[in-house]
Chain A
């Protein structure tokens, strides 16, 4: 490894060290606060090291990795999400008196997995990253093992994720058999001359696995249960980090082999997008439990995202990244509010927690309102700009059918987002909010973080140029 390659991989090495540091810390001093602060510091170090190496990009680390601007954007997004998830975890686990120390090891490990996905250019690194991510997630989901829901969710995820990994491996094997290589670029070169049914079959298998990770219909069956059963911070992690990672590798693979050139692949992804948008929104319509509702809404949102994936051009990629950023911020803020409202026994899932919240806790309610408006794609919020860019890239390629479905299902989706908003502003006061026995400093920090997230959403909704230019610089 040359020193240049070392620098390129530095952020990921720091990320790996973070989990080791946490393990060592546990051995010496079991303090939640200390671990939290150290973890925060390590994540900042990752961002700092990324900043430090950004001028040396792109760095090729054959055969497994390539660290380029594309990877930097996605890793930055992932680490940003983990920062927030870590913050939420403190409030959440501190109150539950579980032993949350190992939690952070798992959290950082799965982050490492997701980050690995963003830089992988080879099936091996792809699979390794995905497995690091998934295996840590099994434990994270079932972390509150005394809760029935959590164990059920963990089992469900374990079984289905193992199955999807098997599909992925089989698909990779088929493609390897056909092309004799596992390197994305070499695969692209090989299939451009010979394009066989075997390759399509392999691709189809891989689509199953990717669809599972992104919770696209018809591979979405785990989403609602896992979202509901997992601890709220972990749910936000699944909803953002794990999906960002998988989407990043999907984008890179598609770019490398120019997937969108093949009509069959295009039809498959367009079909997935369309059914995800429709089923996700329809299932969410009658959903009362807010965590399940967000699960179904995330299915729909990844359907929207796939519309930006279909064109396979630079505008589409930019739209997708913008959409993912806005969506991640939105969901982090949403789960932040859920975490803040959760009581020791129960997560704040039922609508009762939210009835008349605006008159009790205007800050959280205002943040949630912004979140819901953003999910619904109403102007002034980042969600609207994201949807706008996705629509732009769709209309540019004249993908009329997906675009029309996107619009119609967005209108459908409005109904349940508005339902939550009107719940927040309903007159009946929320049944006695829990007492504030939290760490005052972290309580304050979390509130601040939520407000900052909401302002950020409004910021990129009003002045999206800043984020777009930022993304363009990296790509």
Chain B
């Protein structure tokens, strides 16, 4: 039930924000912050109660709540939490806090409606991470889209309308294909067992013919790789990321992309083990293409947010590679990558937002030599670009190292190419640093350095990325059961 409460705190908090904005704007912001803080506290508490997961099978769920919703279709309100979900929820609420904080002064109009959308997006995302009924999962999958559409479409940059449409139509197209796949699975399962149910745990036992499994899996997979994004479907991402307000980019990069990875790990691999093994080679290939292509595109961008967006394409390529390597090590790397990418790319987007607030441009050609006027921000930026290119000591290194190690056992040539991607990532990261913070001073007017609020945001991010780099064991312990389960299938 605690999961339901967590989601409803966000939903109710969102409504309250909308209502109170008429009277007191400060109150609105505090309500939003409080809502995510409470959720963060709740999930931290759950983590502290279940530090490691040693049990397997059905005992792997810390919390398992099921209630009837639409009994005539066998739809239940089934929420459950295991190690992976816990990690992702923690990430969700962590980035949620930062999203609220970094919008504190950036958003100046329609504040109530803004926080409403922000909290509802977070509610949808957390729902996705804990829903174990496929219908409910689809429900949350869609619920997180609409507020995100508004966030981009109302508070975004100059080309926001186009970006918002593109984002929505791409993901909705994938979502509807997934819905058909869910329905097909539902009927096949119903025909086999006589009980019609959308419940994940019972659908796991469905026996599919290879061709049916292939078709149904591709329905799921398309939805997830659009979200991830895998390379031919990545088209929406640079637009959406670059036009969204800072908090929107933060949530998009940090959380929305992760729902795709989560979907593949949670649903595609366990439901269709043979079919997914069959396409593993192709998936790794596309992942590698994504790594290299994303890095090259990032290198050629002049818009700072588009640049960071393309680095996401590159990093998510690692996730795809790691998932389809089917080794324990690679899968652990994927979980790490999900978290560290959320933090490091999130931090870069927050910084891009701060630069935009000060300089009113996203063009890196018009920046340069900012270190002199903003030494604090320069330092933090250096740290996170280093994280993004995978410097040891920082979390991303662990993640990418594990993924490459795990994949090397499976597919040597592709892993070698993927490793080359790291070289490219050094190129674009250093170029970003060079163009923005070093070089001749291009901005004449005085630029203010980080404020206290911004220092808080950045230092929290810094501490967590360093901690993850030095001591990733808690995350690995947490994800262990899930990883073993998935890999063993």
Q: Which A residues lie at the B interface, using CB under 8 A?
A: 359, 373, 378-380, 384, 388, 391-392, 395-396, 403-404, 407-408, 410-411, 414-415, 418-419, 422, 425, 463-465, 468-469, 472
Contact = CB atoms under 8 A, between A and B. Distances in A.
B421 to A, nearest CB: 32
Contact of A403 (B149, B164, B169, B180): B180
A43 B187 CA distance: 42
Contact of B72 (A384, A415, A468): A468
B169 A395 contact: no
B180 A418 contact: no
A384 B169 CA distance: 16
Interface residues of B, number: 31
Nearest to B18: A362
B180 A391 contact: yes
Contacts of B143: 379-380
B355 interface: no
A358 to B, nearest CB: 8
A392 B73 contact: yes
Nearest to A461: B139
A430 B173 CA distance: 32
B76 to A, nearest CB: 12
B82 interface: no
A378 B168 CA distance: 11
B446 interface: no
Given A373-B146, A379-B143, A414 B184 contact: no
A392 B184 CA distance: 9
Contact of A422 (B71, B142, B164): B164
B70 interface: yes
Contacts of A422: 153, 161, 164-165
A422 B150 CA distance: 8
A378 B153 CA distance: 17
16 contacts: A379-B138, A391-B180, A391-B183, A392-B73, A396-B183, A408-B173, A410-B172, A411-B172, A414-B169, A414-B172, A415-B165, A418-B149, A418-B164, A422-B164, A465-B71, A469-B72
Contact of B169 (A373, A380, A407, A415): A415
Interface string B151-188: 00110000001001100110011001101100110110
Interface in B69-83: 69-73
B416 to A, nearest CB: 39
B183 to A, nearest CB: 4
A418 B70 contact: no
B176 A410 contact: yes
Contacts of A359: 110
A427 B168 CA distance: 20
Given A373-B146, A414-B172, 16 more contacts: A378-B145, A379-B142, A391-B180, A392-B73, A392-B183, A395-B180, A395-B183, A403-B180, A410-B176, A411-B169, A414-B169, A418-B149, A418-B164, A422-B165, A425-B150, A465-B71
Given A411-B172, A472-B72, A425 B180 contact: no
Interface in B105-121: 110
A316 to B, nearest CB: 14
B139 A411 contact: no
Interface of B is mostly: helix
Interface in B57-109: 69-73
A255 B7 CA distance: 45
Given A373-B146, A379-B139, A422-B161, A395 B177 contact: no
Nearest to B170: A411
When A and B form their complex, which 10 residue pairs have the shortest distance between CB atoms, in order from nearest?
Answer: A395-B183, A379-B142, A407-B176, A411-B173, A465-B70, A379-B139, A422-B153, A425-B154, A468-B72, A396-B187
A425 B153 contact: yes
A410 to B, nearest CB: 6
Nearest to B173: A411
A418 B165 contact: yes
B176 A465 contact: no
A245 B187 CA distance: 32
A419 B166 CA distance: 12
B243 to A, nearest CB: 13
A170 to B, nearest CB: 40
Contacts of A468: 70, 72
A442 to B, nearest CB: 27
Nearest to B140: A379
Query: Chain A CB within 10 Å — which of B110, B153, B179, B186 has the most?
Result: B179
Interface string B114-146: 000000000000000000000000110011011
Contacts of A396: 183, 187
A407 B180 contact: yes
Contacts of A373: 146
Nearest to B138: A379
A391 B179 contact: yes
**Most chain B CB within a 10 A radius of its CB, from A418, A425, A468:** A418
A463 B73 CA distance: 12
Contacts of B164: 418, 422
Contacts of A419: 165
A315 to B, nearest CB: 10
Contacts of B70: 463-465, 468
Contacts of B138: 379
A305 B329 CA distance: 50
A403 B177 CA distance: 10
A395 B72 contact: no
A464 B73 CA distance: 10
Given A373-B146, A395-B187, A425-B153, A411 B72 contact: no
Contacts of B183: 391-392, 395-396
Nearest to B191: A396
Which of B153, B161, B176 has its CB near the most chain A CB atoms (within 10 A)? B176
Contacts of B153: 422, 425
Contacts of B187: 395-396
A391 B177 CA distance: 11
Contact of B179 (A388, A414, A465): A388
Contacts of B69: 465
B177 A407 contact: yes
